[in-house]
Amino acid sequence: MKRLEGKVALITGGARGQGEAEARRFVAEGARVVIADVLDEADQRVAAELGDAARFQHLDVTSEGDWQAAVDATLAHFGRLDILVNNAAILKLVPIEACSLEDYRKVIDVNQVGCWLGMKSVLAALKDAGGGSIVNVSSTAGMEGVAGGSAYVSSKFAVRGMTKAAALEFGRHGIRVNSVHPGGIDTVMARPPEFSDFDPASIYSGLPIARIGKPDEVASLVLFLASDESTYCTGSEFIVDGGMLAGSTFH
């Protein structure tokens, strides 16, 4: 039997990168998936390639109305909802001194408020399904600071914390809530203009696993947390970073 047979998932930021990899893996494992994003053209392409097991849904994660519409569309099309993957995020790297309040709040709204709204919006549907799994994608920046990343770091620490609060609140309903903390993963978001002068090979060569990570490697971990293989896991952090947070080596 496939690992997500009979389950329905809603994945935000599903049009590309980690979200796309998760959507493809979930469908391969038997799930039906709503791929939600603001990138409508890419969103529709991925859903079309996955066939009847997937549908696209426009979703601005900062909009409570969009969230309700996405949940309603999921229930109308697939009849239930078992899994939420809060994957949508944006990255802005700028020193605090030069960061505008507007830019700071934009990152917080998408990465932090969007995650919170997602959990709140799917709760009734997951209760009706008899339980389920919420996977909140944080970052290694939710475990340590990043110079120039005050907004991103703040948002990802918040995702880590709200995951624990939600796990405590939702556990009695059979709903598990965990956070995933990727390190450097080879996606469009991980190659912002601010990194144009950096060579990825030199950045990651010092890791125990001396390379940048792949979206499929994050998808494998998210799949585990979404599936019934992780039924005793909740309120925890799961790191996929090639050993980035393990410590330092001296040669």
The residues near 103 (Cβ < 8 Å, ≥ 6 apart) are 92, 94, 151
pLDDT at residue number 251? 58
The residues near 48 (Cβ < 8 Å, ≥ 6 apart) are none
Locate 226 and state its tokens. 């979404």
Q: What is the pLDDT of residues 15-68, one digit of tens each?
A: 999 999 999 999 999 999 999 999 989 889 999 999 999 999 999 999 999 999
What Cα–Cα distance (Å) separates residue 124 from each residue in 5, 121, 140, 183, 240? 22, 7, 30, 32, 30
| Residues catalogued as catalytic | 152
The residues near 3 (Cβ < 8 Å, ≥ 6 apart) are 29, 30, 223, 227, 228, 229
Separation CA 205–CA 222 (nearest Å): 25
Which percentage of the chain shows pLDDT scores above 90?
Answer: 88
Q: CA triplet 212, 218, 223: central angle to 5 degrees?
A: 165
Mean pLDDT across the stretch 184-189? 84
pLDDT at residue number 225? 98
Separation CA 139–CA 237 (nearest Å): 10
The values of phi and psi at residue 54, to 5°, are -135, 155
